[in-house]
Structure 1
Amino acid sequence: MNSTKYTLDRIEDGFAVFLKYPEEIEQLILPITAIDQSLQAGDRVFIQEIDNTFHIDLLKEETEQKKAEVQSLMDKLRRKK
C-alpha cells in the first residue's frame, strides 16, 4: 500500500494531474474515470493505492486553508497597485 498527499494541479484531456505535496514537483496522472468524486484544481487530497486501485480522499480543511492563504496574498497584491 502506497499513500501520500497531493494537490490537484489541473484536469485536461480526460486526465487529472496531481502534484506530490509539499514539493509539488513529482506528478501523478490518473484518468478522470478513476476518480469517483468532484474535485477542483487546488484541492488537497490523500491518495492511497490499494491493489492497483486509487482511493482519493479530499482534505477539506487543508484545501480551504490553502485557498484562504492564496486569496489573502491576492488581496495584498491588489492593494499595492
Structure 2
Amino acid sequence: MSSTKYTLDRIEDGYAVFLKYPEEEEQLIILQSAMNKPVQVGDRVLIEEINDIYHIEILLEETEQQKTEVKSLMERLRNKNK
C-alpha cells in the first residue's frame, strides 16, 4: 500500500482528523491509539496503514513552510484591518 499525504486539522475526543492534501476536502479520521507516533495540529504527514496501525511520517520541511505561510497571511489580514 502506498503512503498518502495529509494535514492534521484537529484532534477531537481521542481521534485525529486529517485532511487529504492538497484539496483538503477528504477527511481521514484515525483513533490516536492506532497511530505509531503523536502528531500536532498543522503537521503535514504521510500516512500508510499496515496491519491496522497507521504509520505516520511527519514532513518537517513542509510543515514549517505551511506554518510560515499561515503566519504571513495572518499578519497581512491584521494589517489590512488597521
Are 1:25 and 2:34 an aligned pair? no
Is contact 2:34-2:52 (8 Å) kept?
no
Describe the superposition over 1:12-41 as per-residue Cα deviations: whole angstroms up to 9, x where unpaired. 011001110001111111101012323111
Relative to 1, partners in 2 of residues 1:69 and 1:78: Cα closer, same or farther, differing over 3 Å?
Answer: same
Describe the superposition over 1:33-56 as per-residue Cα deviations: whole angstroms up to 9, x where unpaired. 012323111110000122333110
Is contact 1:2-1:50 (8 Å) kept?
no
Identical amino acids, percent of aligned pairs: 65
- State TM-score, norm by structure 1: 0.91
2: distance between equivalents of 1:25 and 1:13? 21
Q: Which amino acid aligns with 1:77?
A: L
1: distance between equivalents of 2:57 and 2:45? 5
* Unaligned segments of structure 2, at least 5 residues: none
- State TM-score, norm by structure 2: 0.90
Q: Which amino acid aligns with 1:43?
A: D
| Matched pairs, number | 81
Q: Runs of 4+ in structure 1 displaced over 2 angstroms? A: 35-38, 50-53
Give the structure 1 partner of residue 2 of structure 2.
2
* Unaligned segments of structure 1, at least 5 residues: none
1:3 to partner: Cα distance: 1.6
